[in-house]
């Protein structure tokens, strides 16, 4: 009888500097919305680098799906925290949005100074089919791992129909998926090993990861009420202290305090992703505060959809236009005033996300393997596949049938071609984005 094959050894411990380089790179290439961003992290951290086991990855993701705020940024924060503590979490979450903040601020300045340049519009239009392909490929990739039992397939299909047909809120869908998962495994207990395998990937025979399935919780995962209260106190103190300093500098009723209060409120309402909170943001930014027009808001959404980072980064565009319009730093300071206001809007949007992760992650790390936690989270994992598929369809409707025009067959063909290349592993996300943008610019020049 032959001896069993030993599992390939784990990679060496990852240095903080090495992780920092990766998080910065991710922030520069994180196109495709949350689905594409999660797929990027999974392909790199789980499959290629083996820093995190697949089970640990999806356990973290399922927790982030329950929180208000951008789940991909929160997942990066969680994984950074898991590897290198709170400093690692701050760097991972911060670098996830920093390139987007700088790029959107620059594009906002170009937008104000030069309007809609044809070649810029062409690049953005060319990237849109690639975004659809990235999201659809993510649904396929994650679905292959998560939907290994009829119970999870049914939850994914129900989540898709709940969004597409019934238009139910995402928070309700997540809650229902968790409840069905908890009850369903009692009726169909054989589903949980398959669901856990989807969460856990290679299992006992796959290559080991640096932080593997059986790795103990790290030192920073000591869960206690005192530690949670300390995190909460730091978060509240930082937010209130920043608002106080802004009030001293710009006035209690000044623009910067308005931005801080408004986007903190928006962050706490962002259950279900950016699209769930966009109506609130549009109403407040356009109708209530008058920071920008409806047409400008639509242009900002287009930029937000086709630049790296979470879609909720449209707050940077809103903040930039609001700050530039007021010229906060004096005459002829459009760029600096806009950048300051965009930074304030972004900081207050993402501060709650860091607090939620540092508050809850230690408790979540100690819940691994508990049936009462694994079954609901497996249900959420299945629902995520349906949600991602619905997002891909939403993007497809916007791009293939643009408002006021007929069916764009060339965009549909490009999306199908890009999807085939991604699904077969023939091209990476960064080359795909570059190719799509170049083709879009060429199309605009040729008319």
Is the residue at 1 inside a domain?
Answer: no
Please tell me which residue, 276 or 152, carries the higher pLDDT value.
Answer: 152
Domain membership of residue 128 (yes or no) is: yes
Higher pLDDT, 164 or 114: 164
> Whose structure tokens read 């129900």?
158
Indicate the average pLDDT of the chain: 82
User: Is residue 393 in a domain?
Assistant: yes
269 within domain boundaries: yes
Residue 304 lies in a domain: yes
pLDDT in tens, 243-292: 999 999 988 899 999 999 999 988 886 655 555 566 678 778 888 899 98
Predicted structure pTM score: 0.72
What's the gap between Cα 394 and its chain centre?
Answer: 17
Q: Is 242 within the bounds of a domain?
A: yes
Report how far residue 323's alpha carbon sits from residue 317's, in angstroms, rounded to the nearest whole number. 10
- Percentage above 70 pLDDT, the chain: 85
Number of domains in the chain: 1
Q: How many helices (H) and strands (E) does the chain have?
A: 17, 0
Q: Which domain holds residue 96?
A: 14-204+223-447
Residue 215 lies in a domain: no
CA distance 152 to 59: 16
| Block residue for tokens 């730093």 | 329
Query: Of the ranges 47-56, 135-144, 195-204, 343-352, which one carries the lowest mean pLDDT score?
Result: 195-204
Residue 55 within any structural domain of the chain: yes
pLDDT of residue 199: 42
């Amino acid at each position: 009888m032959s001896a069993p094959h030993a599992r390939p050894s784990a990679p060496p411990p990852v240095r903080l500097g090495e992780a920092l380089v990766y998080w910065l790179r991710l922030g520069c290439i994180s196109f495709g919305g949350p689905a594409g961003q999660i797929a990027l992290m999974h392909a790199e951290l789980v499959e290629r680098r083996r820093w995190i086991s697949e089970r640990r990855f999806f356990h973290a993701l399922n927790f982030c799906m329950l929180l208000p705020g951008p789940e991909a940024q929160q997942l990066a924060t969680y994984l950074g925290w898991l590897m290198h503590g709170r400093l690692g979490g701050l760097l991972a979450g911060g670098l996830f949005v920093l390139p987007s903040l700088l790029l959107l601020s620059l594009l906002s300045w170009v937008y104000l100074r030069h309007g809609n340049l044809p070649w810029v519009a062409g690049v953005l239009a060319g990237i849109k089919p690639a975004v659809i392909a990235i999201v659809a490929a993510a649904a396929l990739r994650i679905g292959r791992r998560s939907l290994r039992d009829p119970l999870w397939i049914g939850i994914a299909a129900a989540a898709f129909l709940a969004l597409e047909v019934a238009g139910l809120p995402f928070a309700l869908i997540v809650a229902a998926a968790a409840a069905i998962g908890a009850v369903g495994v009692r009726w169909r207990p054989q589903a949980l090993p398959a669901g856990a395998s989807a969460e856990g990937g290679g299992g006992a025979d796959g290559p080991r990861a640096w932080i593997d399935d059986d790795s103990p919780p790290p030192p920073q995962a000591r869960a206690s009420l005192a530690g949670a209260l300390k995190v909460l106190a730091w978060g509240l103190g930082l937010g209130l202290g920043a608002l106080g300093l802004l009030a001293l500098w710009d006035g209690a009723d000044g623009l910067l305090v308005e931005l801080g209060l408004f986007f903190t409120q928006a962050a706490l309402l962002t259950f279900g992703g950016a699209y769930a909170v966009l109506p609130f943001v549009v109403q407040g930014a356009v109708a209530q505060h008058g920071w920008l027009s409806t047409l400008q808001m639509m242009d900002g959404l287009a930029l937000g959809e086709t630049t790296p980072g979470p879609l909720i980064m449209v707050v940077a565009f809103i903040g930039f236009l609001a700050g530039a319009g007021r010229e906060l730093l004096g005459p002829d300071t459009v760029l600096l005033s806009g950048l300051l206001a965009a930074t304030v809007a972004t900081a207050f949007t993402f501060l709650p996300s860091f607090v939620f992760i540092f508050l809850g992650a230690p408790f979540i790390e100690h819940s691994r393997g508990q049936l009462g936690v694994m079954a609901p989270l497996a249900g959420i994992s299945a629902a995520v596949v349906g949600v991602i598929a619905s997002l891909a369809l939403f993007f497809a409707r916007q791009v293939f049938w643009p408002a006021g025009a007929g069916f764009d067959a060339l965009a549909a063909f490009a999306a199908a071609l890009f999807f085939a290349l991604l699904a077969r592993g023939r091209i990476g996300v960064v080359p795909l984005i570059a190719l799509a943008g170049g083709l879009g610019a060429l199309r605009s020049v040729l008319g």
